[in-house]
Structure 1
Amino acid sequence: MSVRFDLTLDCADAPRLAAFWKTALGYVDEPPPPPYATREEWLAQFDLSEDDGGGEWLCDPAGVGPRLSILEVPEPKTAKNRLHIDVRVPGHGTPGERWARITAEADRLVGAGGRVLETFDGHHVVMADPEGNEFCVAAGPADRA
């Protein structure tokens, strides 16, 4: 039996990082869990104060992908990620067409605040989000994005 999973990113500026990942993944703000009307109301049950750091919660509007929690922490990022996100573009077409889609997506994400770390011509682009978290842009299987 498989299980559902969420991903969590630690950060210094949750709203900034959430804006980037909403652009990158097409995600939206996740509503608070019922019966809570606001995220603040939900957090209050855990006796958290504003000093505990902020957070943003995102979800796939189609309900397919994992949820993404973006939580503010006091310490900076100090090493390479051991787990990273792969942003997939449609994999159909010729190798040149796939590579054009990969580089176009990388360019779009640079415009959203990401940066290119390394390019593996014809295969994938290693990037970093605005806080330095690594991720890749690559083609998915030919039958899906």
Structure 2
Amino acid sequence: MSAIKKVQVTFDCAEPLLVARFWAAALGYVLPDPPEGFASWEDFDRDKPADFHGPDWGVAADPEGVGPRLYFQRVPEGKVVKNRVHLDVRAVTGLVGEERLVALEAETLRLIALGAVRGTLLLADEVNESCQNMQDIEGNEFCLD
């Protein structure tokens, strides 16, 4: 029996394509090709009926195939409690002290512009470096570190 070498992370959400677009932009990932009959996702958006909420799924994938594929599936229920699993977005690895805080703030602002929400900034202690708690556009928690 061989060891598993690939992992997909699945998110339950209300608007899968919207959340997939957020994470693709946040991580430098890509969306799959648009549905058949559409030249681009923008064409898809333009041509959908006003009451259409997009497909029941969305995907954001690492264009180099190294990072995990992110899959987003529509579910009827909303988010109720804190996630039991979350992503750590490793944006400032190797930086420490004030340099790390400046880089964290810059990346936090970039993600806020994409629709993320800032949470608590956890400052460095004797064990851990500083990290920023965040939420994506549907309230899923993640750490920026």
Inter-CA distance 68–93: structure 2 relative to 1 (3 Å threshold):
closer
TM-superposed deviation, 1:98: 1.7
TM-superposed deviation, 1:121: 2.9
CA distance in 1, matches of 2:29, 2:118: 22
Pick the aligned partner of 1:64 from 66, 70, 79: 66
Alignment-derived partner of residue 91 in structure 1:
93
- Secondary structure (helix, strand or coil) at the match of 1:28 reads coil
Residue identity matched to 1:129: D
Q: Tell me if 1:133 matches 2:140.
A: yes
**Structure 1 residues 33-72: aligned runs within 5 Å:** 54-72=56-74
CA distance in 1, matches of 2:113, 2:94: 25
- Secondary structure (helix, strand or coil) at the match of 2:112 reads helix
What is the aligned residue count?
A: 121
**Structure 1 residues 67-86: aligned runs within 5 Å:** 67-86=69-88
Inter-CA distance 11–93: structure 2 relative to 1 (3 Å threshold):
closer
Residue identity matched to 2:32: E
Identity %: 39
TM-superposed deviation, 1:77: 0.6
Q: Mark the runs of 5 or more structure 2 residues left unpaired by the alignment.
A: 37-51, 125-129
- Secondary structure (helix, strand or coil) at the match of 1:127 reads strand
TM-score, length-scaled by structure 2: 0.75
CA distance in 2, matches of 1:108, 1:94: 20
- Secondary structure (helix, strand or coil) at the match of 1:17 reads helix
CA distance in 2, matches of 1:77, 1:31: 28
Residue identity matched to 2:23: W
**Structure 1 residues 26-37: aligned runs within 5 Å:** 26-30=28-32
TM-score, length-scaled by structure 1: 0.75
TM-superposed deviation, 1:16: 1.3
CA distance in 2, matches of 1:2, 1:98: 34
Question: Over aligned residue pairs, what C-alpha RMSD do you find?
Answer: 2.1
CA distance in 2, matches of 1:72, 1:54: 5
